[in-house]
Amino acid sequence: MAAKPPTTIQRRIVVAAGICVLAFSIIGIRLVDLALLKSRESVAVAGNGAETEIVRADIVDRNGRLLARDLPVYDLYVRPHVFWDKAEAAHGLAQVTGVSEARLARAFAGKHNYVLVASQITPETRDRVMSLGLPGMEFEPSTKRFYPEGDASQVIGMTQAVSGGRGIAGIEKGLNAQLAAGKRVQLSLDMRVQYALLHALEMTRAKYNAKAAGGIVLNVNTGEILAMASQQDPKAPDYNPTRNIMAANDYELGSVFKIFAFALALEDHRITFDTTFPVGSGFKVGKYTIHDAERMPAVMAAKDILAESSNAGTAQIALLSGPDRQRAWLTSLGLLASTRTEIPERARPLYPSNWGQVETATIGFGHGISVTPLAFVTAAATVVNGGRRIQPTFLKQDGDRRGDQVLKPETSLKMRELLRYVVTDGTGKNADIPGYDVGGKTGSAEKNAGGRYIAHKLLTSFCAVFPIDNPRYLVFVMLDEPHGESAVMALAGHTAAPLAGDVIAHIAPMLEMPNTAAVPVPGKGNS
């Protein structure tokens, strides 16, 4: 028997049931969607759940000044299809985020369910976005490393751009494990000193149109590096502002290296201040004759050889020690190995494999050996601090950190007397800052290109120590190819020496160093 067709009432019931099922299905789907969205937002939006955990620790200077910190940031996504007015939404978001309104309008008009509006916005910007009251906004949390003091970037380094990225340069790389574990790092850097050094380098490099300028300020008793900076000519083909040339580049430093030849000769009692040497006609060693850039007297005392920076005289003094003794001495100062610190940037020194008479003579006045400025200042500090080895460090230290005795204290005292004489009566006069008893040594090295030294391409430097009677700080500065009004005016005494003096004049008060020139002297009729 055939089935009876459904009545009108039955058909209405079936249709109503279908509509109900469909409606509940839609509601269910939407509830799931909202739950997922809510879950996503619960970890992204402040006040609705947890923020991204900040793990990487801060870096601060010796006075607690912030140098690096992880801060929360957000990637902003939107669902354009839920906007009531897409044009109005594009306008509002553009005003708050700074993103092009036209770009947002095009993106919102497309078929994408999700659109990235802006990356790494700050919590403040996020709050302003939320105040717009737009539906369909999502905030993906992450972190970004901020460096409020860019003046120390070559030392601090950087991390990978990704959230929570590891360190890839400088302190960030060298102490990555400690920072990633949430342990704060306090550096030896003093940002006041760092800024003063960097400013002086910038001004002087520009003044002499040099390819680069660099400097280091070091505590000779603790090994702490208070400042390290370099400036490069942005027009140079090898310009790299992130490269730390003071630690990663080798240089033939020239006459500042004479410090070590004199210290060794005094240590071994081969010379006194008044020991004389024939200088005026040059000095022949092997098939080479060593001459001075400027005319020298026929005969000079040792103290004047250093004060006037005679290469011919210093070569003779170096040969008194001989190749083996010279090599052993430079080894004990750490100059023949890489200088290790908390930063990974370092370079191996370059020196001759066959160390004979000629090499001994030229190394005596700073040619034929290349070291980093950091290695040099470490060794120079040992010579003036009483003769005890130090370990350079970028971490704040407590108390005297001098180590093994490698030079007799009395020899160190004699070297300080000589370095003061260089400033009062020799090539270092332009580094003399009244009241701070500066001692030091100039260096003007011809640069080597293709195995030949180029007379008009100089690397000038100055190594200053103050106060010289009881040294605390060493200031080293250098200029790569400075251009003076004449060849003489490009030498270190006219370029690097006043730069060092300028740095000392600015940083000494910061370091609470008393200026003795301001102290009245009894019986001198002070008014």
* Residue type at 195 in one-letter notation: Y
- Report residue 8: phi and psi, to 5°: -60, -40
- Name the token pair of 206: 């520009």
Asked about 370 being catalytic, the answer comes back as no
Cα distances (Å, whole numbers) of residue 489 to 231, 305, 310, 468: 21, 20, 17, 27
- Nearest-angstrom CA–CA distance, 505 and 57: 35
Report how far Cα 298 is from the mean position of its chain's Cα atoms: 45
Taking the CA atoms of residue 493, residue 499, residue 505 and residue 507 in that order, the dihedral angle to the nearest 10 degrees is -140
Catalytic pick among 255, 309, 321, 444: 255
Which residue type occupies 414?
A: K
Smallest Cα–Cα separation from 482: which of 473, 490, 474?
A: 490
Q: What is the DSSP string of 106-174?
A: HHHHSS-S-EEEEEEE-HHHHHHHHTT--SSEEEEEEEEEE-S-GGGHHHH-EE-SSTTPPEEEHHHHH
Query: Which tokens sit at 400?
Result: 């005297």
CA distances from 162 to 145, 159, 405 (A): 9, 8, 47
Return d(Cα 37, Cα 49) in angstroms, integer: 13
Catalytic residue set: 255
